[in-house]
Structure 1
Amino acid sequence: RRPDAWSESQKERADLLFERYPKLKQAYNLSLNLSNIFEKTTDKLYGLARLAKWHEAVRQSGFKSFNTISRSIQHHYETILNYFDSRSTNASAESFNAKIKAFRSQFRGVRRTEFFLSRLTQMYA
């Protein structure tokens, strides 16, 4: 959650946690900064610059868990930057792909592709 959505008790807990574990606060701020880039940036060029700054902050932080997403953003930055143009994602395609995988696993694989595709079109068309 964002700090402005915290209750009073959550604010107190966060203050205690961040005071005792400064690395946790640093990681939380990195994640907030990444979400702010996508929420508040509307220009591709500005988005690229902000992502580059975020990548540098991740590199300096030394958090291995953030390195994975940072590398993914670097490898796919051209398609990720398209988000700033139309504000659309591939979430619906990913959701449909998950449904197909669940359907396939329900039948423990696919023996006949034609039958699988016909069943799939009947269910989701």
Structure 2
Amino acid sequence: AFMNAYHVIDKFHVIKNIIEQLQSVRIRYRQQELALRRKAKQKKESFPEVCFSNGDTTLQLLARSRGLLFLLPNQWSIQQKQRAEILFELYPEIKTAYHCVLKIRQWFTAPKGKSTYKKTREEKQYKIKQLIDELKQTAIEEVENIAYLIEKNSAQILHYFIAKETNAKAEALNQNLQRFINVNYGARNTDFFLYRVKVHFT
């Protein structure tokens, strides 16, 4: 039906998924800290609590760092910058994962000036292969998950650079259609339903 259609894996969905993996690294360390406290409690031992220069305890540091991991470094507040420095020094894996995510977000930036799709695609394809190899070499499970996600869907992800478009319009139309079906109690008479859709959306 749509001869020139192509599937784009939405840039924002990709970024959402890779940030979820980044957050998983942080959550893993927080779970480890909670486990240490449970063991100490079971043994009826006191647990030595560390307080960092910004006033955070270890658990507070890991919990309060959630927000800054969504942001680019130039978007951090002074407090978030201080927290990030402590977090990255204490947990190098979180630092590595964060910088890998930054590289992917940077990769999605379209080239400035005039450039053909073929040239852009070739450059981006070469760069993403390098990034995938780099991510796999980190030996961090969550970062490797990001690498395999991108590798598996690289063709559809690269389609983003055809016109720097996403699936947002198609998704919005689909939502409107679903709402239309619900309001009209389904679509048993297909011909009449398609006629009503045509009238409604034109």
112-121 or 84-93, larger mean C-alpha shift = 112-121
Higher relative contact order (CA 8 A, sep 6+): 2
1:33-71 alpha-carbon deviations (Å, 9 max, x no partner): 111111144622111111111111222234254122432
Task: Kindly indicate whether the alpha-carbon contact (under 8 Å) linking 1:58 and 1:70 is maintained by their aligned counterparts in 2.
Answer: no
What is the rounded CA distance, in whole Å, between the counterparts of 2:183 and 2:94 in structure 1?
A: 40
TM-score, length basis structure 1: 0.72
106-115 or 13-22, larger mean C-alpha shift = 106-115
Q: CA deviation at 1:115?
A: 4.3
Paired residues for 1:24-63 under 5 Å: 24-41=94-111, 43-61=120-138, 62-63=141-142
- Name 2:79's counterpart in structure 1: 9
What is the rounded CA distance, in whole Å, between the counterparts of 1:109 and 1:58 in structure 2?
A: 46
TM-score, length basis structure 2: 0.49
Tell me how many residue pairs correspond in the alignment.
121
Task: Kindly indicate whether the alpha-carbon contact (under 8 Å) linking 2:132 and 2:150 is maintained by their aligned counterparts in 1.
Answer: no
1:8-54 alpha-carbon deviations (Å, 9 max, x no partner): 11111222222222222222222211111111446221111111111
**Does 1:84 pair with 2:161?**
yes
Task: Kindly indicate whether the alpha-carbon contact (under 8 Å) linking 2:110 and 2:161 is maintained by their aligned counterparts in 1.
Answer: no
Greater share of helix residues, 1 or 2?
A: 1
- Name 1:72's counterpart in structure 2: 153
Where in structure 1 are there 5+ consecutive unaligned residues?
A: none
Q: Aligned Cα RMSD in Å?
A: 2.7
Instruction: Report which of the two structures shows the higher radius of gyration computed on alpha carbons.
Output: 2
Give the % identical residues. Answer: 31
2-11 or 112-121, larger mean C-alpha shift = 112-121
